[in-house]
C-alpha cells in the first residue's frame, strides 16, 4: 500500500534524461490534469505544436491522421475510464512534411491511491515505412487487414472474423524471457496458418492477438471448429516443448452478417469486445458475439464514464436517500438506512441494482463509499439533536474492504463527525466472503471492537446461512424483502421466518424485517417477535430534507 506516487514533473525529468539515448519517443499523459509531455525530438519530426500541451485530445487532432482519430480516442477513453490499463495501437501521425508516419504507441496507466488512472506512460516508435509483415510471427499486419475487410462485406457476408489472443502472454515474457515469448508467438501463428484454407487469412493485430478472416462463407461453426483444432494443436506444441510454458488461447467470434455495415475501426472495437468477453468468461474458451451483450457493455461503459465525471465534479448527480427503520412493538423511529441514488446528467434515474455493480467493478465505490459515509453521519448528527439514540445504517461493499483501507476511513470519518461509533450500523451482505477471506473477517472484528454496530444484510437470500451468524456475530440480522414476500404468501415460509427470528434471538441478536408494505404484513411480522421493521408501509427512502421534515421535526 505504501507505493510512492510520482509527480508529473518527476516523470518529465526522467523522460528528458532517457530520450537522448533512444530513437523512440517517450511520453506521459497526466489524465486528471489533461496535460501531456513527449520527448522534445518528437516536435522536429511530427506536426505537433510543442512537447508539452494541455487539452490533450484536441491537440492530438492536429497531428493524428484524420482517419485514425476515432480509433485512437476510443482506445484512450478505455484507459481514461479505467476500464483497461494497457494502450497498444498502431496508427498514423502526420509528419512536419505532411506525410503520414506509422507509429506504434504503447503505454501503461498508473493508478493513484483512489485507484483511478493518474498517468499514461509509454513509448512511441515508428513501425517502419511499410508495416506489412511482422518478423516475429511471420504474419501480415493489421494494416493489410484494414485494406481487406472491405472485401469481406462484398464477397462473403456469411464469412466470419475470429480474434484470437494468447491468455496471460505477458507471464511468458516476464517469467521465461522475451525471446521465448517471440518463439511462442511464432509457433502459435504457424499452427493457426496450418489450419486455414487458402480463402481464410490470419493477421497479427497487436502483441499477442491474431485475427482470422474467412472470405468463403464459412460461418460461425467453421470458426468454432478451427478454434477447437487450434486448442489441440497448441496443447501439442506445449507438450513438445516439455511444458516450458503453459498457456491457452481465447477467441471472440463474429459472423460476417454482424459486421456487414461496419468500417475497420468498428470491426476492431467489436472484435476486441468479443475477445475480452471470452477472457472474462474464464479464458481458454471462445465467445460468440451477441449484439445485446455489446449493447449492455456499451451502456455500462457510458454509465461508468458519466459517474467518473460526476465524481470529479464533487459527486454531482449522487444523492443519499434515507429510509426509516422503526421498532416493531411501538413503531418508534429507531434508525435510518442510507441508500445511494444516482441521476445522470440527462436526468435519468438509475437503479442502484444497475449502478452499484459498476461502481464496484471499477473501484469507484471506494471514493463514493466515503462520500456516502460522510453524508450519512451528517444526517445522523442532525437526527440526534432530537433523538440522541438515533442510528444511521450504511451499506458497505466487499470491494471497499478488499481494495481500500476502509477501517481507517470509517474511524476517521466517525471521529470527524463527532457521532459515537455505536450510532453507526455497517451493513454487509453475507456472500461467503466472511468464511473465506481473512481480511474481511479482520475488518469486521475491528469494527466491532471500535464499537460500530454491524448488520448482516440480505439474510434469507443467496448464500446466507446460520454459520455466517456465528462467524460474523453481528448486532443485527436483516431479513431480506425477498424472504418477507415469500413468508407472507406461504405458510411454510412463514413458519421458517418464526424459527429464524427465534434462532437469532436465542443468541441475543436483533432482527430487522425488511420489505413490510401493508398493515396486515406488519401485524403478522410483529406477532413473530421481530425487533425492527423497515418497509414502504412506513416510508419509501426519501431525500434528506423530506426525511427530516417527516420523521425528525414532527
Instruction: State the residues that interact with Mg ion by CB under 5 A.
Output: 395, 427, 457, 478
- For residues 200 and 534, which CB has a smaller minimum distance to ligand C2E in the complex? 534
Question: With the CA atoms of 122, 72, 149 and 257 taken in that order, what torsion angle do they form, in degrees rounded to the nearest 10?
Answer: 120
Nearest distance, CB of residue 472 and ligand C2E, angstroms: 16
Nearer to ligand C2E, 21 or 353 (CB): 353
Grid cell of 439 as nine digits: 481480511
Which residue number, 210 or 538, has a Cβ lying nearer to Mg ion? 538
Round to whole Å and give the CA distance between 224 and 207.
23
> In the bound complex, what is the minimum distance in angstroms from residue 377's beta carbon to ligand C2E?
13
Find which of ligand C2E, Mg ion, none residue 12 binds, CB within 5 to 8 Å per kind: none
CB of residue 253 to Mg ion, shortest distance in Å: 41
What are the C-alpha distances in Å from 120 to residues 85, 258, 269? 8, 33, 20
Q: Which does 531 bind (CB under 5 to 8 A by kind): ligand C2E, Mg ion, none?
A: none
Residue 423: contacted member of Mg ion, ligand C2E, none (CB under 5 to 8 Å, by partner type): none
Query: Rounded to the nearest whole angstrom, what is the least distance from the CB of residue 378 to Mg ion in the complex?
Result: 19
Query: Is residue 512 within 8 Å of residue 534, measured between CB atoms?
Result: yes
The residue (of 200 and 393) whose beta carbon lies closer to Mg ion is 393
DSSP run (H or E) holding 422:
none
Instruction: Decide: 387 and 426 in contact? Cβ < 8 Å.
Output: no
Give the span between the Cα atoms of 303 and 340, in whole angstroms.
15
Beta carbon nearer to ligand C2E, 101 or 336: 336
Measured at the alpha carbon of residue 134, what is the angle toward residues 131 and 136, in degrees to the nearest 5? Answer: 150
Instruction: Select 152 or 373, whichever has its Cβ closest to ligand C2E.
Output: 373
The rounded distance, in Å, linking the Cα atoms of 223 and 160 is 7
Question: Which listed option, Mg ion, ligand C2E, none, makes contact with residue 340 (CB within 5 to 8 Å by class)?
Answer: ligand C2E
Question: How far is residue 144's CA from residue 124's CA, in Å, rounded to a whole number?
Answer: 21
Evaluate whether 168 touches 104 at the Cβ level (below 8 Å).
no
Q: Which neighbouring-strand residues pair with 88?
A: 106
Comparing CB distances to ligand C2E, the nearer of 306 and 480 is: 480
Query: 518 in helix, strand or coil?
Result: coil
- Mark residue 421 as left, alpha or beta (left: phi above 0; alpha: psi -120 to 50; beta: remaining): alpha
137 binds, among Mg ion, ligand C2E, none (CB under 5 to 8 A by kind): none
CB of 415 to ligand C2E, least distance (A): 21
Q: Work out what residue 535 binds among ligand C2E, Mg ion, none; the CB cut-off runs from 5 to 8 Å by kind.
A: ligand C2E
For residue 458, which phi and psi values (nearest 5 degrees)?
55, 30
Picked from ligand C2E, Mg ion, none, the partner binding residue 541 (CB below 5 to 8 A depending on kind) is: ligand C2E
Residue listed under C-alpha cell 450510532: 423
Minimum Å gap between C-beta 538 and Mg ion is 15
Q: What is the 3-state secondary structure (H, E, C) of 158-188?
A: CCEEEEEEECCHHHHHHHCCHHHHHHHHHHH
Q: Which of ligand C2E, Mg ion, none lies near 163, with the C-beta cut-off 5 to 8 A by kind?
A: none
Collapsing DSSP to helix, strand or coil, 538 comes out as coil
Q: Which residues bind ligand C2E (CB under 6 A)?
A: 323, 338-340, 351-353, 356, 372, 395, 397, 427, 457-458, 481, 514-517, 534-536, 541
Q: How far is the CB of 369 from Mg ion (least distance, A)?
A: 13
- Cβ-based nearer residue to Mg ion, 208 or 514: 514
CB of 426 to ligand C2E, least distance (A): 10
Give the separation between CA 167 and CA 487, rounded to whole angstroms.
47
- Select from ligand C2E, Mg ion, none the partner in contact with residue 222, using the beta carbon and a kind-dependent cut-off of 5 to 8 Å: none
Residue 139 vs 325, nearer CB to Mg ion: 325
Minimum Å gap between C-beta 330 and Mg ion is 22
d(CA 502, CA 497): 9
Amino acid at each position: 500500500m505504501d507505493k510512492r506516487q510520482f509527480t508529473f514533473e518527476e516523470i518529465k525529468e526522467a523522460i528528458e534524461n532517457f530520450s537522448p539515448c533512444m530513437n523512440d519517443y517517450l511520453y506521459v499523459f497526466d489524465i486528471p490534469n489533461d496535460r501531456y509531455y513527449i520527448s522534445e525530438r518528437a516536435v522536429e519530426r511530427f506536426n505537433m505544436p510543442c512537447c508539452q500541451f494541455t487539452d490533450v485530445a484536441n491537440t492530438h487532432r492536429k497531428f493524428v491522421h484524420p482517419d485514425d482519430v476515432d480509433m485512437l480516442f476510443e482506445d484512450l477513453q478505455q484507459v481514461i475510464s479505467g476500464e483497461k490499463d494497457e494502450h497498444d495501437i498502431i496508427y498514423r501521425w502526420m509528419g512536419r512534411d505532411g506525410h503520414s508516419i506509422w507509429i506504434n504507441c504503447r503505454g501503461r496507466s498508473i493508478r493513484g491511491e483512489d485507484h483511478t488512472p493518474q498517468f499514461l506512460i509509454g513509448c512511441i516508435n515508428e513501425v517502419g515505412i511499410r508495416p506489412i509483415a511482422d518478423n516475429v510471427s511471420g504474419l501480415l499486419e493489421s494494416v493489410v487487414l484494414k485494406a481487406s475487410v472491405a472485401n469481406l462485406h462484398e464477397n462473403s457476408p456469411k464469412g466470419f472474423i475470429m480474434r484470437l489472443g494468447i491468455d496471460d502472454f505477458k507471464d511468458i515474457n516476464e517469467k521465461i524471457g522475451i525471446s521465448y515469448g517471440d518463439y511462442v508467438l511464432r509457433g502459435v501463428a504457424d499452427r493457426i496458418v496450418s489450419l486455414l484454407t487458402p480463402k481464410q487469412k490470419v493477421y497479427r493485430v497487436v502483441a499477442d492477438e491474431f485475427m482470422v478472416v474467412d472470405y468463403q462463407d464459412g460461418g460461425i461453426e467453421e470458426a468454432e471448429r478451427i478454434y477447437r483444432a487450434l486448442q489441440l494443436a497448441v496443447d501439442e506444441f506445449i507438450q513438445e516443448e516439455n511444458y516450458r510454458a503453459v498457456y491457452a488461447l481465447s477467441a471472440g467470434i463474429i459472423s460476417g452478417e454482424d459486421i456487414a455495415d461496419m468500417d475497420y475501426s468498428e470491426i476492431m472495437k467489436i472484435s476486441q469486445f468479443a475477445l475480452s468477453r471470452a477472457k472474462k468468461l474464464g479464458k481458454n474458451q471462445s465467445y460468440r458475439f451477441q449484439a445485446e451483450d455489446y449493447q449492455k457493455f456499451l451502456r455500462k461503459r457510458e454509465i461508468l464514464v458519466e459517474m467518473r465525471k460526476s465524481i470529479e465534479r464533487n459527486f454531482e448527480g449522487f444523492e443519499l436517500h434515507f429510509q426509516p427503520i422503526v421498532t416493531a412493538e411501538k413503531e418508534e423511529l429507531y434508525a435510518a438506512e442510507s441508500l445511494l441514488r444516482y441521476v445522470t446528467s440527462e436526468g435519468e434515474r438509475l437503479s442502484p441494482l444497475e449502478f452499484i455493480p459498476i461502481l464496484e467493478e471499477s473501484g469507484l465505490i471506494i471514493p463514493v463509499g466515503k462520500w456516502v459515509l460522510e453524508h450519512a453521519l451528517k444526517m445522523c448528527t442532525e437526527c440526534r439533536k432530537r433523538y440522541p439514540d438515533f442510528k444511521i445504517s450504511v451499506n458497505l461493499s466487499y470491494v471497499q474492504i478488499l481494495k481500500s483501507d476502509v477501517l481507517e476511513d470509517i474511524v476517521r470519518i466517525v471521529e470527524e463527525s463527532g457521532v459515537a461509533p455505536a450510532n453507526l450500523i455497517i451493513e454487509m451482505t453475507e456472500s461467503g466472503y466472511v468464511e473465506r477471506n481473512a481480511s474481511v473477517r479482520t475488518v469486521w472484528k475491528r469494527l466491532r471492537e471500535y464499537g460500530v454496530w454491524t448488520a448482516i444484510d440480505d439474510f434469507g437470500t443467496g448464500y446466507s446461512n446460520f454459520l455466517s451468524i456465528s462467524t460474523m456475530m453481528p448486532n443485527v440480522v436483516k431479513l431480506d424483502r425477498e424472504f418477507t414476500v415469500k413468508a407472507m404468501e406461504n405458510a411454510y415460509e412463514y413458519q421458517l421466518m418464526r424459527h429464524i427470528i427465534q434462532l437469532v434471538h436465542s443468541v441475543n441478536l436483533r432482527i430487522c424485517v425488511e420489505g413490510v408494505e401493508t398493515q396486515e404484513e406488519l401485524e403478522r411480522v410483529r406477532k413473530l417477535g421481530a425487533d425492527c421493521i423497515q418497509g414502504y408501509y412506513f416510508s419509501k427512502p426519501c431525500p434528506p430534507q423530506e426525511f427530516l421534515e417527516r420523521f425528525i421535526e414532527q
